[in-house]
Structure formats: C-alpha cells, structure tokens
Structure 1
Amino acid sequence: MKRATEKSIVLRPKRTVVPECASFSDEASVVRFEREVRTHRAHVEEFRIVVGKTDGSFLVSGASGGTYAVDLVDQRAEEDACSCPDFLFGMLGACKHIAAVRRAAKGNARIRRVVASLPRDARVQDEVVVTARAGRADGPGPLTVVAVGRGVDRVVAHLATLAVGDGQRERDDVPAAHASLGPRAEAGRELDTSSAVLAHARDFGLARVTQAAIAAARILEQKKDRDERARNVGEAIASGKLGVDVLAEPLFPYQREGVAHLVRAGRAVLADDMGLGKTVQTIAACEVLRRRGEAKRILVVCPASLKAQWAAEIARYAGAQAVVIVGGADARRAAFASDAPYVVLNYELTWRDLSLVKNLEADVLVLDEAQRAKNFRTKTAATLKSIPSRFLFVLTGTPVENRLDDLYGILQLVDADVLGPLWKFNFDFQERADDAKGKIVGYRNLAALRRTIAPVVLRRRKEAVLSQLPALTEQTRYVALSEEQKELEESYRRAAAMLVKIAERRPLSPAEQKRLQASLLKARQACNAALLCNPESKDNAPKLDELAALVGEIAQQGTSKVLVFSEWTEMLKVAAERLDAIGVGHLTLHGGVPSDARPALIERFKNDDDKTVLLSTDAGGVGLNLQVASYVVHLDLPWNPARLDQRIARAHRLGQTRGVSVTYLCAETGIERGIEGTLAGKRAVRSAATDGTSGVDALEAPSFTMFLRHAKDVLAGELSVVGSDGDDANERVARRSDDGDDGMEVTVEKASAPTTAAVAIAAAKAIGADPDDVEATTRPTTRRRPDMRATEAFARQRLRLAHVVLEAGFPGDAVRAAYEAMAASLRARLEAPIEEGHPALVAAVYRELLPSGAIPSTLPGVLAKIHDLSSLEEHGVPVDPTIAAGAVEDARAWLERDDAFVIQRPASADLPS
C-alpha cells in the first residue's frame, strides 16, 4: 500500500526518568542500559517525523541536523531498522530515531494508524521484507542483511538472478539461518548481495526493501572489497611485484614496512614515534597509489605550522606539485581550483571551506598529527568524518594521550567497524566501577585490543629501529604571528631597514650601529613572544602553543628527553610556564646558573624520569654533553649557524646511541624568514672553508661590516620598498648624536614633508595595503582620493613607531612619528587630495573638517603643538621626554577617539649592550 507524503510531525521533548545501569560488569545489563539510553533520548530531544510513501517508512530529523530513514517492519518491533550510523554500527538493533517513531505512534493518530496497518509478525507474511539487523533481542549482534517472510526462497532466487545480471559473483559460503523456511520460521535468510541488487529488487516490487538494508549492504560490500584488495596488494608486495621504494631518496627498511602497511590497508593509522619519518612514508604510499592508478588527488590536512614543510617534502621526495591553501576566501578558492596532485591545508580550514574540500573529491585523505581529532565528539572530528575519500592515512605519534578513548576516536575516522560501538569497546577493554556512574578505573584485555587493531594500526618505537635510524633528522615548523607580534616586529624591522639604507650612503656611527643591532634584536624577539618587547602584554605566543604540542607528544613516549634552546632567558621563563600548564617536568640552565650548581642540575636531567625537558640558553649550554636527549627544539633562529650547530651538538655527538630529531620553530613571516634564508648559505661557506677538498683559501673575519651585509640580506625585501626615490629633498638622515646611547634610531625627513612617497608606499606594502592608494597622498597633483583604510593603517604604524622610539629614549623622533600619524589620519578624511606640507593641511582642516564638525575644535591646537615639537631638533633644541610623551598621548587619544583603531603601547625592554 502506498500513501502520499504527509507533513512533518514535531515531537516535543518530554521529561523522563534517566536510566541507570544495573551492572557495568554484566554485558546483558549494559546492553539493556544502552537501549534504554536511546529511548530516553527519544523523549528528551526534539524530532521531526515525516510519514513516508510506503507503510512503515518514515524520515526522522533530530537536533543534530541529520535526516535518517526509519522502517517499522511489523508490530513486534523486533525488525525495526534505521539508516543512521548508531543503528548500523551500534550492535543493539536500536537507536533514538526508531524509539522516537514508536513514541510518536502512541500520541499521534496518523502514525498510530500506520503502525496498526503493519503485519503482526513479518515472519509469517507472504510479503517478503529485506531489512538490516544490527543486534539480537537477547544481546548484541553484527550487521547483516536479512530477508523475512514466507516467500523468502522465491525472493532469494530472484535476487541471485539479479546479481548475475548485475555482474555480482555468487558465493557459496554465505551462512543461512534456514535453507528453507516453514510457515512459522523463527528467523530470516541472511543475504550476501550488493546494494545495487537490493535497489533493483525494491524497484521491481519483489520485496519491501528498507533503506537500512541498502545502507548495510553498501557497508558490507565495501568491507569485502577492502579485505580482498588488502590480500591482493599484500601478496603483490611480498612477491616483489609491487615496489614501495618509489621516492627520490631510498627508504630505510622500517619505512618500507610502513609504506607497505599504508598501501595494503588503504585506510590505516601510522603511529610511529616522532622523528621516524611518518611524512616521508606517507608520501611514498601516496605515490604508490598514484602509480597504481588508484589515486589522482591527495588532500593533506595538518597543523598550520607544518603546511610549508609538507609542500617542501612532497617536492623533494616525490617531485610533485603541492598547492598550499592560504589567504583570503578568493585566494583559497583559486588554490582549490589548482590541478596539483597534492592539496595541503590546516585543520581550521576544513570546516570553513568544507564545501570546497568535498568538491575536491580527493582519493586520499591524510590527517597529520591527528591526535587533535581524537575526541570524536568535537566539531573538527565531525568535519573530518564528513570528508569522503577512498583511502585515509592517519598520522600520530600519540594515538593514546590520556585515555583509551583517544585511540577509539582516531579509529572512528579510519573505520568505525574496527573497534565497534563505544559501549562495546568500553565493556571489552575498560574496567569500570560497578556503581551507578560506572567510572573507568582501569583497562583490560589489552592483548586482544592490540590484535584487533593490528590490521590498521602500525606503531614503531624509536628504540626498536635504532640500527636503521639516520644520525640526524631536521624539520621546520612555521608559526603564524599574533597581531601584536606582527605590529611590533614590523616596527622594529622597518626601523632597522631605514638605518641599513642610510649605511648604503655613508658609514653608520658607533651609536647608530648599536641602534641597528637593537632594532634587529627586538624584531627577532617579537617573533618569539610580544612579552619580550612589551612586559605588560597579555598576548598569547603561538610559538609556545607549538612547543606545548610538540613536547606533549614527545612526553607521551615516556623515555625521551628534550633540549629546548632560546637565545633569551625571558623566553625560557614563559616556555617553562607553558610546560607547567601541560604537566611536563623541566629544568632550566642559563648563564646565570652558578658553575658549581650545573653538574647536579645536569645529572638530575639525565636521571630524573619526571624531568623531560631542559630549557637552555646558548651561554648555559656551552660545553655540555647531553646525549641523553634525542630531541632538540630551537625556539628562535640565531644569526650564526655555528650557534645552531653548537646547540644540536649538545645531544648529537659521540656517545649518542639514538638518532636526534631537530625542530626549528620559525615565524611564518617577518625577520626570521630572512634569517632562515641566510643560514644555509653561511653553513655552506663555513663548510667549504674547512673541507679538505675546498678551493676556498680566504674568509672574512667577523665585523660590523659583515653584520651589516647579513642584515641587508635579511632585510632585502624591506629595503626594496624603504629606499629613497633619488631626490635629495627626500633623503632620510639620522638625527641622533653619537653619545653612545644604546637606544634605537629612527630616521626623519630632511625636507618638510611629513610623509614621503617612498616611506608611504613602503608602509602600505608592509601592512598589505594598496601602494597606489597611499602614493596618491604624497602627490600635489589632482588624483583620486586615497583609500581611507590604507592611510589609516599607515597612521597606525607611525603611532606604533612613536611609542617604540619614545620608550627607546628618542623623544624627537617620537613626536615626528606622532605628527605623521595625525597628519595621515586627517588627510584620509578630506574630500579631495591636497598639496604636501603642514600649511596645506592646516588650511584644509579650517576649510573643511572644522566647519563640518568632523573634528573637535581643540584638535588644530594639538596638531600645531605636535608640529612645532617635531621641528625643535632641526634648530638645535632637544625635546623634553615628558613633553614628547604628552604629544604622543595626544595623537593616540585623537586616533582612538576617531574610532579607527586602538594602539597598545609597548613597554620598555632591555636592549643589548
């Protein structure tokens, strides 16, 4: 009987008694409790139910947003089925959606009539129903597809005919509950047929086929195909017909085993210790699949800090193109449209760009450092599970961090059938208190657990493959800067770039040299943490987040020690605080630790299992032998590669019995990327000078000239936009006497124009604005009005610079920067561009801004005062620091009142001697 689709019925929540488990140590009690939990959820949650076109069929939507097909087969309620994952994988034969329909039947006349029209017992009816079973009345059971009814033999014969026509191979080993069914048969016939055949049977009217049956058949046939493929691939690898050493560089034996595991299983976990090359093994597995024609598109999801590393490794080992998803929405959309075989993006973008990710139709999904998705109830885990892919490689060094549930969450991504439903996993492998709450108090049957997961999980400890390990492996993780870090780093880097540009025209004085060094130092410190430049900062340091994730993973290995290096003691202090927060024991060694106290500290690090990390400065670690550590982390990049080598040599030296893994934490943007680019070249020169086969016979001694050249290399991109346009009137000169002050130098305009074209354009590029828009503000000719946002951004940068140089002890430079900030802000509010210079700006203020009420009446006086102060030093009059501070605050007050932005003042910080 067919019926027209009816309107949805809303089932409102209703309070009911919360179920309790009689005994968590008795499986029957647990099964009963789990079924009662689903009935309880059917009462306390809201559902929408649509009566289907076939008697007994319904569409049910819950609060989670999913819609599933529920089929009631008869009035006994023992063959009810649902297409939801909980029914198909739950082994209970129950779910909240079925319970919701049964509940609705008691209070809704339409559904009650539908239920009343169903047969009392489908087993004795002539009409055959093909449905899914996922449990028994007396306990749990596996997922099967069954045919129920008197005419089951006839339907099975028809299905066999359809299967042959559909190309499905008939099987003789399918278990059957009964070879033939009598009038009172107690069970149906278990079927082994494809979802396509069942759909044909439904369309031909041979039987009523539930949606759950089709879904179950699809799950079972996919499992059968995976198992058959795994056998065939395994045999091909074992016989040598299929090679796995396919990269530009040869793999170690244990890595070949890892590649074989991934390729054979297809959906698998690689859980090697950090430093064993999970990335390389995964790339090799992807390349094998590409050569077999099984994969064309590979999607790599990883932490943001590893995206560049992945792209570099893919190019290095596979010679393949990898597009990295970065930037705004338009840039990301264009990147997704690339035809590159590899696409790399970070976890946060998976849910933001989920539709684009799904449209990729990736053949292989790689999840690197997948422990962040171990909690299967999180949004990230749900998003990852929704990304379709035939192959899935999950990479993690810590499959279990705190609880056994961590492993369950990861394997849910791979194959929900491996460990079965959560309740069964908990019952089989976790000891629970036999009370109402059932708190987990221990674990059991772990040998059985290892056997269960062995086909899909491969884990090797570092100690087990020591003889195969390379002596040293290195990786770089690129870490995004916070907004406060970006502003600080940019201000100091630009100040340094201006001094370097001056040095191209004339020698820097000793004081200027120190100020250049101070600027570069502060720019580097800003890359580590804003706190190093501004002690009052509450800003989070992304490098510390990365360090916590890295050390947390290593600490899970239990026996590994880590050396963490930074050039600055203050950075080690904040790193220590972060390690305390994650419960990792540590010790700190720096130049201030007395020499006679160091041996005991080192012995404690070596022998105390609770002290996993040694935090050390370069000075503190000189001459120490710390072969007990097999991991080295650099929180910052020094100028000199010798310092890096000295750090690594603390662990990687004669006597080290384990390979050493080195990680560099590098700012994604800014001065550290420039330093990174110079280190390789410096290492090559030094190596050439000491290599017996080298033809080099002269090296330059360290000097400021050499430092200046290195600074120019690092700041090359900055210098290209800071440089003068060749007009002497626009030349920027140093305005500070050689008084030996260690402060930071900022150059000022020789001419009266407060903002030259070159500097304005440079600032725009530094903040990502359109240079053409800013350039218009510096031209006296009539052009289109500059973009207000770009000019305000320049004003923001100038005000930040004013605070920086004021704290560094340069009040004259501070008021000049403050004036430039106010002038830029006011010009942005004019209807049309005006000529350069203070008089033209004052005229425009009185002509346009004051009459319109755009500015307060007191502002022209503030502008005049700051302009006057900015010119005092040109006439040999020093600016009083207190007066300068007031001027900078006046400028700050106006810009904040204007509501364009808020500037945080950097506090003073120690500058190097």
Structure 2
Amino acid sequence: MSTASAAASTSGGKKQRNHFHRRLGSLTFTQACQLLGDEGAKLLRTGAQELAVDFEDVFLGGDLLRVRVPDASVDGGLAIATITLQSGRHRQLQTNCDQCEMPCLHLGAALDYLLQAKSDLGLAQPPDESVPLEHLTASELNQRALAERAKRAVEERMKVRSTNTDRPWTDYIVSSERSGRTYRVAVRSFEPGDCYCSCPDYRTNRLGTCKHILHVKSKVQKRFSSAKLRAPYRRKKVSVGLDYGANPGIRFHLPYRCDETVQEIVALDDQQVITDGRDALTRIEALENAGHDVTIYPDAEAFIQRQLIQARVQQQCLAIRNDVEKHPLRTELLDATLLPYQLDGIAFAAGAGRAILADDMGLGKTIQGIGVAELLARLAEIKRVLIVSPASLKSQWQSEINRFSERSSQIVLGTGAERADQYRSDAFFTICNYEQVLRDLTAIENVPWDLIILDEGQRIKNWESKTSNVIRQLESPFRLVLSGTPLENRLGDLFTITRFVDEDRLGPAYEFFHKHHVVDERGKTLGYHRLDQLRESLQPILLRRTRAEVAKQLPERTDEVIRVEATAEQKEINDSHLSIVAQIVNKSYMTEMDVLRMQKSLLMARMSCDSTFLVDQEEPEYSSKLERLTELLEGLIDDPTRKIVLFSEWRRMLDRIEMRMDQMGCDYVRLDGQIPQKKRGAIVDRFQTDPQCRVICMTNAGSTGLNLQAANTVINVDLPWNPAVLEQRIARAYRMGQKNPVHIYKLVTVGDTIEERLLNTLASKQELADASIDMQSDVESVSMQSGMEDLKRRLETILDPLPAAAVDQSQQRRVESQAETLQAKREKVSAATGQLISAALSLAGELIPSTGDKAPDDQQVAALTERLSQCVDKDPAGRPQLTITLPNEDALRGLATTLAKLLES
C-alpha cells in the first residue's frame, strides 16, 4: 500500500473529525488559486501540464500533505511541496516549497493533484458552503448542488408509501411535511439517472436526482436485504419518458430481453435522448405497428403533443410575421385595427408557444395578450385561458376583453366554493388575481388550462417568495408573461420569470448564477457577464419593443381607460351620497337648499372614487385608485422618454399622489390655482427643459393657457363633469408643435360608482361641440334645456339604476329618537304659547276700555270666529291649531314684547 493510501485508510474513520482533512476536502479551485497569489490560475494550469505527480509521491498525514514533484531543472531533480494548517487558524492553509521562496509551479502541480484526486485520498466532500457558488468550477458546483439535496433529504420530514412492499424497485408516494405536496418517485436502481420524481426540482436541476429520491433510497437501503438490492430491476416492455439530464429530451427504455426488431426500430442505447417529438412519435408508431406494447409516460406524451402542435402553429405564425403590414388579421382577429407591431407581437408569442412580451408601457400588451388567446383558439383550438393579474387590473382586463373580443369572460369572486365552480366553468377567459392563486391552488390545478397569462409578471420575480413558488406550479401547454419590466433590480428577476415560461431555457438556478454573476469573495454581486449569451438564449421566447422603436406606427393620440375596483369603504361612501342625490332629484320641486345639498353629495361621491381621505381626512386611507396610479407611475417613470402631465380636480389628491412620488424618488413640479402667476413661468420652464423633472401635477385651475409640448403622457386621475374640461387638460400636451405621439390615461373607479356612470355619459355630452365644429358630423339639431332641467336629466342618467344603500340601523334609531324629542318639545312650546296668547288676549280684553261696559256684538264675534276657523287646523286630539306667519324675526320679537307688556299690565 502506498504512503498516501495508508494515510487515507488510517485516517478514514477520523476524517469527519480532522479539521485539516475536512479543509482539504472542501478546497475549491478558486481558493487554490488564491493560495498561489495573483498568478494562481496560471500556476495551477502550467504546473499540471509540465510536472507530473504520481500517487506514490503523495503522503497524507494527520496535519500534513506532502507531495514530491519531479523537476529536472532543480537541484536533486525533486521539489517537496507541503500543505499544512496555520497555527491557531484551523481553516487557513499554509503552503511551502523547499526549492522556491514564492508561489511556484511545484505548488501548482501539488494543488492541482489534490483537486483532482480527493476521492483517491479519501477526502472527497462538498465545497465549503461559505465559498460563493460563482467561484466554483463546474464539477465543484455539481458537488455542492448534490450535497445540498442530500442534506435536505436527511433533515426534512417526509412520509413515504410504497406501491409494492415486496420489492425495492417500484414506485413510491412521497409527501413532504414542509410543503404539503405529494410526488411520485420511481426507483429502478441506485445508479444516477435511473430514478424519477415528479417534483419541479427534479425536472429542472439536471442532476438526475432530488431530495425525495435520496430520501426514498435511504429508506430502501434500510428496509431490504443486500440480496434483494443486488437483484436488478427487470423492465418487461418498452417505455418512453422524459430525460431531465443535461440535455433534456425523449428517452426510450428498452426491456431486459429485447428482440432485434425493437432494437432496430429504436436504434438507440438506453442513455440516448431524442429532442425531436416527431422523430420520437415515428418510432413509437413503428413499434406498435410491429406488435410491441409501448408505455408512454404523461410527461413524454405532453412533450410530444406540445411539439407537434407548436410546429404547426409556428409555421402559420411565421407567415403572419412576414406580412404584418398588410395581413388581414390586423382587422379580422379582434374587434379593433391592430397596429403592425401589435400583430407581430401576437404572432411571435403564439408561435413561441411560451413567451415573454416585454414591450414598454403604453404599447398595448393587454390587447396583444387577448390577441394571442384568440389566435391560439383558431390555430390550436384552445378553450380555457387563465389570466392572473394584480387585483386592481381584473376589471380592466374584462373591459378590454368585452371591447375587443366576443369570447366569454368571468372575474373570479365569492366564497371558496363559488370560486372553485367558477374555475371549472366553460368561460373562455377566467380572470383572477395573484392572491387568489395562493388560496385556490388546488381548484386551479384541477382544471386543464390551455393558456395561462401572467399580467405584470414581475410579481413573481422573487425566487423564494410563496407567490412565485405557487405560480410556477401551474401547468398549461401555452404560457404568456406580460411585463414592461421583467428585470427590475437583479438578473435573478429575469431568471425567475423565464423559469415560468420555459423551465429548461436558462438551466438550473445554480448554473445560471454561476454563469452570469460576478461576485467578491463574500458573495456580494459586483456585476454581470456573458450577457450576450443570455440574450441569445432568450431571443426565441422574449420580445421587447420600446416606444422609440415603434414611434412611426403609433397613432398621434392614444386614449386608454384604466378601470379600478372600488374598495368596500369607498363604495359605502359613494352609495350613501348617491342615495341622497336620488331623493332630491325625484322631488317635484328643488329649493336652493336642495341644490346645495345635492351638490355637496355629488362632490363627496366623486371624491370617494379617488380616496376616502378626501372625504373624512382620516387614516387609514382607502384608495384602490391611488394604488393603481402608483403602479402606473412606476412603470412610466422607468421609461426615460416619458414626460407626464397629471391632473386631479382636488389639491388634496395631488398631496396624496406627491407622497407616493416622493417614496419612489420621482422628481416633479406642481401647478395649481394657489401658485402665484409670477412663479408659474419658472415651474413650467423647469418641466419643459429639465430631463430629471418627469411629472407636472396640476388642477384644472392651474392649467389654463399652458403649452406643454415636452409632455407625451397625460394622466387624468379623475373625470371632470364637462368633456370640454377634459379636452382642455389633454390639449396641454396634445397640440400644435407636439412631435411625439401622446398617450392619455383616464383612471376610473368602477363598481357601480358615480365615476363609472359619468364615464358612460361623457361621450353624449360632446354632442353639441361635435355638431358645431366637426365638419363631418351628421347631427342637424340639438335641443337646449334650462340649467335645472338639464342638470336633472343628466343626474337621472347617471343615477339610473340607483344602488340601494344598506340601512344603518343604529344611525336610523338615533335620528328617529332625536326627531321624536324635537317634536315633543315643539308641541310643548306650541301648547304653552297658545295658552300664553289666550291668556294675554283675555287680559287685553279686560283692560281695553269699552263704552259703557257694553259687551261685544254677538254677530261680530261669530263672524270673526268663522273667519278664524278657516285658518285653524285640528291636532290628533281634535284641538284647534292656529298657525301664524310673521313677516320676519323682528315681528316675532315684537309680538313677544307686546305680550310681555300685556302680561305685566
């Protein structure tokens, strides 16, 4: 036995306790280079090439590795290289060469041998976990990935059930207690690549194993005897499955007794894979025609089926892309005329089958997503599309679907049972939000979706988040991610999003980061490299167009309505105030006080559509519009070409918006009615000329007469009553001298709100202006009504149908009690006053002198009584009530003064 072998055998039982041996075993290529200084990589490479080290020349002791390096150029023809631990630092290695004072080729040869022969020396173990994976070699990276899964296989609790307890080589059902997920593990031997697991990690790690397989193997080794484990698995017939190794593809598994016909048809050994689905299908058909039964596993069947369909779709989509300008689908695919780049994006995504559409904001990713679904319905006969979007965009999606498509759609709402029924329904488009996917994963997984669309796909960018993990579990043959910012902060964002679209495109995570990250010795990211290779990998599945690239295709003006669902708190305020308005409008006659109350309620209803804070000025603030606006602004500001004019009716709403822009670090200016005229010029000039100033916030009062041609985006946070005011806002940017297309956003809070109804009436309000100045108008006459009649007519349109507001029972009882108390007080005062007046008049009758104490004429008294009775009503008790109307407050006081004097007399 060699010295090295003896040392390895004597230390084999101690290597787990020997710090020196563990340090040698975990030594990485990068660390070896660092031991040799700046020329470390060159010394390792040259030393290995020029100086041969034999196994017999190596000695490994308890705290010493000594390597004899033959070198004819030194005295004695031999150099002795040694590696030890530094005193007091058990992890720090120290190197030495008896022939050289500096790091040298001899040490390079010794360290290279150590890296290559760890197994022979009994030292092999995973690289040190403290070493960043980016500093590992491909082999070391693979070792670490395997070690991480082996560790989890031991530490994590799993329940394992065998489908055949009499033999080790069978299928096992494995449930992870950590995730609650259950997978099928097929064990055929202990050799790498001979097992299978249905978990996502096995499909993507390219290791040929996973923690579930390793866990099952450990149990199998303990359960079965050595004799049973030595007996190999005997495959009885041909089976076809997917190989998830370094080159994923179809793999034919041949029976242990394989006749010549099968071998001739398959013409592959057991380790070869086929990446062409059509080729695999041809061989399967030949086997079955020859009378051989073939088992096709579900993953292989789905792979072949998707390839066959995709090949046909891709060919037809390529024909579309070759003629997007004149292709009839520009007008026939949807109920809209698609711009050439939009049809090209639709054909690209449908042709790719699984794609990322990363156009700039405002270029119509939503309509392209709808178009992809429609095109796949025609070319691939898809029937179920799941759209996952932020909650604030669900109504927007349904509105756009109804506008551009005739396909059925539904928004997922209600209880868990109701949502499950909705997922199973026959609607073509099913729209849910990311939070619902977390809650409804089981119900969603039970539906065979044909296409899944992720809107704002950057929501899954965080690889470790629960949302990202759950979304990546969803299955469908076609997938589409819409995101204007697929890479927000880190390269990992793009990797995660791509993983949902195509699991194999960028390889396992550990390989991707190792390939593209540049880090320091502590793992801190310093930069990225090999991005040209990344772009080449993504080119078949990712399409991005900027506004500048398609500017010539864009219309001069694009109007987009962004619908936002009201919160329950906003809806409550809106409904209560609209109920007041409806009661007033239904009156046959409105007083000035009625008009004042109605105007205030309309104002409150409109404010509530923006934010509850505008109404009550209290926290917490409820505003779905503010949340959606923040998302919109973040996307727009990421585009450096955007200059934004932002309008709101209310200064307080601008205050709330500016708080959000401060948080995102956006530079802006403000112009409203309270800004002095002499300061406005400087504010406008800064917006027009300073590229860092991206937004000008305005109210209607501050916008009159301004020309803001630098702006190419107008955001109407809320809608004005008058369409002329809306056009005046837009005209700040969309006017003569504007050289760029202008994008106009109108944010509307929906959910049967006043703002939603107002949107539907704005178009009709434009009738008079169109008839007057539009030379193409065919309107001949427009009826004019009085201001009050016109107001009532418009309100009736907006308020019909009026939502029935829920009655606040406690508030109703409080108001009724107050009313009863007030009425009782009035009756008491009325009775006392009647008695007082009666007494005062009787006293006056006694005091007023009469001629000769003659009594009043009975006929005259009777006549006066008759006339007074005509002015008297009866109360519920039958008592007469006399209502006296006085000309003013002074007359009332005068009456009281007279009565007081009479009483004093």
Amino acid at match of 2:632: L
Residue of structure 2 in register with 1:69 after alignment: 184
Name the aligned partner's letter for residue 158 of structure 2.
Answer: F
Q: Distance in 2 between matches of 1:128 and 1:321?
A: 44
Greater length-normalized contact order (CA 8 Å, ≥ 6 residues apart): 1
Separation (CA, whole Å) in 2 of partners of 1:273 and 1:536: 37
Task: Answer yes or no: is the 8 Å Cα contact 2:133–2:514 preserved in 1.
Answer: no
- Please tell me whether residue 41 in structure 1 is matched to residue 156 in structure 2: no
Residue from 397, 406, 419 that aligns with 1:310: 397
For residue 653 of structure 1, the aligned residue among 732, 735, 743 is 735
- 1:465 offset after TM fit, Å? 0.6
Residues 85 and 298 (structure 1 numbering): CA distance in 2 closer, same or farther, change over 3 Å?
closer
Q: Aligned partners of 1:264, 1:208: CA distance in 2, in Å?
A: 31
Which of 136, 139, 142 does residue 26 from structure 1 map onto? Answer: 136
- Among candidates 237, 242, 247, match of residue 142 of structure 1: 247
Residue 766 of structure 1 is matched in structure 2 by 805
Using the alignment, how far apart are the partners of 1:393 and 1:495 within structure 2?
Answer: 47
Deviation at 1:289, TM superposition (A): 2.4
Partners in 1 of 2:273 and 2:401 — Cα distance? 47
> Deviation string for 1:826-885 (max 9, x for gaps)?
xxxxxxxxxxxxxxxxxxxxxxxxxxxxxxxxxxxxx5x7631366579999xxxxxxxx
CA contact (8 A) 2:314 2:352 kept: no
Letter in 1 for 2:814: A
After superposition, the Cα gap between the structure-2 partners of 1:704 and 1:373, relative to the gap in structure 1 and judged at 3 Å, is farther
Question: Counterpart of 1:158 in structure 2: which amino acid?
Answer: V
Other-structure match for 1:794: 808
Distance 1:219 1:20 in 2: 41
- Answering whether residue 551 of structure 2 is matched by residue 466 of structure 1, we say yes
Residue 568 of structure 1 is aligned with which of 636, 643, 650?
Answer: 650
Task: Give runs of aligned pairs for residues 838-853 of structure 1, distance below 5 A.
Answer: none
Give the drift of 1:582: 3.3
Residues 239 and 577 of structure 1: is their aligned pair in 2 closer, same or farther, counting only changes over 3 Å? closer
Name the CA shift for 1:566/1:417 in 2 (closer, same or farther; >3 Å): same
SS in 2 for 1:288: helix
Q: Partners in 1 of 2:445 and 2:583 — Cα distance?
A: 48
Task: Tell me, yes or no, if structure 1 residue 366 matches structure 2 residue 476.
Answer: no
- State the Cα deviation string for residues 459-488 of structure 1 (Å, max 9, x = none): 100111111101222222222223332232
What are the Cα deviations for residues 599-645 of structure 1, in whole angstroms up to 9, with x where unaligned?
33233334444433322211122222223332222221111111211
126 and 328 in structure 1: CA distance in 2 versus 1, 3 angstrom threshold: closer
Structure 1 distance, partners of 2:406, 2:365, is 18
Match in the other structure for 1:97: 212
Structure 1 pair 264/243, CA: closer, same or farther in 2 (3 Å)? farther
* CA offsets 1:85-111 (integer angstroms, 9 cap, x no match): 2122112233222332345467xx31x
Which of the residues 539, 543, 567 maps onto 1:454? Answer: 539
Write the letter of the residue equivalent to 1:26.
Answer: L
Q: How many Å separate the matches in 1 of 2:128 and 2:285?
A: 40
Give the counterpart of 2:679 among 597, 614, 623: 597
In structure 2, the CA distance between the partners of 1:707 and 1:189, relative to structure 1 (3 Å rule), is: closer
Asked if residue 475 in structure 1 is aligned to residue 590 in structure 2, the reply is no
TM-score (norm 1): 0.67
Q: TM-score, normalised by structure 2?
A: 0.68
Structure 1 residues 542 and 24: alpha-carbon distance in aligned structure 2, compared to 1, 3 A threshold: same
CA distance in 2, matches of 1:379, 1:400: 19
Aligned pairs (5 A) from 1:65-214: 65-75=180-190, 79-104=194-219, 109-110=222-223, 113=224, 117-119=228-230, 134-135=244-245, 141-144=246-249, 154=258, 157-158=261-262, 188-190=271-273, 214=297
Aligned equivalent of 1:546, options 621, 628, 633 = 628
For residues 798-841 of structure 1, the C-alpha deviation after alignment (integer angstroms, 9 at most, x for no partner) is 46xxxxxxxxxxxxxxxxx7334xxxxxxxxxxxxxxxxxxxxx
How far apart, CA to CA, are the structure 1 residues paired with 2:800 and 2:580? Answer: 14
Structure 2 gaps, min length 5: 1-125, 831-905
Cα 1:115–1:512 change in 2 (3 A) is farther
User: Which whole-Å deviations, capped at 9, do the CAs of 1:178-237 have from their partners, x for residues lacking one?
Assistant: 7xxxxxxxx8444678699999999x999999xxx9466456535643663455334543
Structure 2 residue aligned with 1:443: 528
1:711 maps to a residue whose letter is L
Give the match for residue 756 of structure 2. 673
Per-residue deviation at 1:589? 2.1
Aligned match of 2:637 in 550, 555, 560? 555
Cα separation, partners in 2 of 1:558 and 1:249, compared to 1, 3 Å? same
- Judged with a 3 Å threshold, the aligned counterparts in structure 2 of structure 1 residues 874 and 446 are, in CA distance, closer, same or farther, namely farther
Does the 8 Å CA contact 2:412/2:431 hold for their aligned counterparts? Answer: yes
Q: 2:821 aligns with which of 868, 875, 882?
A: 868
Please give the secondary structure, in 2, of the residue aligned with 1:301: strand
Q: Which residue of 2 aligns with 1:497?
A: 582
Counterpart code for 1:868: T
Letter in 1 for 2:199: C
Indicate if the aligned counterparts of 1:587 and 1:611 stay in contact, CA closer than 8 A: yes
1:661-719 per-residue CA deviation (whole Å, 9 max, x = no partner) reads 2222212232212212221110233212322354546674994553343333322323x
Q: Which whole-Å CA distance do the structure 2 matches of 1:261 and 1:73 have between them?
A: 42
- In 2, the alpha carbon distance for the partners of 1:326 and 1:708 equals 35
Residues 1:43 and 1:580: Cα distance change in structure 2 (over 3 Å): farther
Larger Rg: 2
- CA 1:520–1:238: 2 relative to 1, 3 Å: closer
Per the TM alignment, residue 400 of structure 1 is displaced from its structure 2 partner at its CA by: 1.5
Please list, as runs of the form range in 1=range in 2, the aligned pairs for 1:242-391 lying within 5 A after superposition: 244-245=329-330, 246-292=333-379, 294-327=381-414, 339-354=426-441, 357-358=444-445, 361-391=448-478
Q: Does 1:818 align with 2:902?
A: no
C-alpha distance in 2 between matches for 1:404 and 1:448 = 13
Residue 56 of structure 1 corresponds to 169
1:251 is displaced (CA, Å) by 2.0
Q: Deviations over 1:319-346 (max 9, x none)?
A: 4443444455676567557644333344
Q: How large is the Cα RMSD of the aligned pairs?
A: 4.0
Equivalent residue in structure 1 for 2:500, among 394, 401, 413:
413
| Residue correspondence of structure 1 range 461-860 to structure 2 within 5 A | 461-502=546-587, 505-509=588-592, 511-668=593-750, 669-694=752-777, 695-696=779-780, 700=784, 703-718=787-802, 765-767=804-806, 793-795=807-809, 798=811, 818-820=814-816
Residues 236 and 257, structure 2, Cα contact 8 Å, conserved in 1? no
Distance 1:690 1:297 in 2: 47
**CA, structure 1 residues 92+600, in 2 after alignment: closer, same or farther (shift >3 Å)?**
farther
Asked if the contact 1:492–1:522 (Cα under 8 Å) also holds between the matched residues in 2, the reply is yes
Q: How far off its partner does 1:380 sit? A: 3.6
Tell me the equivalent position of 2:490: 403
Distance in 1 (CA, whole Å) between partners of 2:829 and 2:641 is: 66
Cα distance in structure 1, aligned partners of 2:823 and 2:553? 67
1 CA distance for matches of 2:471 and 2:464?
11
- Secondary structure (helix, strand or coil) at the match of 1:558 reads coil
Give the Cα separation in 2 of the matches to 1:302 and 1:197.
Answer: 42
Q: Given that residues 133 and 510 in structure 2 are in contact (C-alpha distance below 8 angstroms), is that contact kept between their aligned partners in structure 1?
A: no
- Which residue identity lines up with residue 35 of structure 1 in the other structure? L
Contact 2:197 2:212 in 1 (8 A): yes
* Alpha carbons of structure 1 residues 323 and 102: separation in structure 2 relative to 1, 3 Å: closer
CA–CA distance in structure 1, aligned partners of residues 233 and 636 of structure 2? 58
Instruction: Quote the offset at 1:443 in angstroms.
Output: 1.8
Distance (whole Å) between structure 2 residues aligned to residue 687 and residue 358 of structure 1: 52
In 2: Cα distance, 1:256 partner to 1:206 partner? 47
Aligned residues of 1:105 and 1:115 also touching (Cα < 8 A): no
How far residue 583 of structure 1 moved from its aligned partner, in angstroms, is 3.5
Residue 31 of structure 1: how far off its partner (Å): 2.6
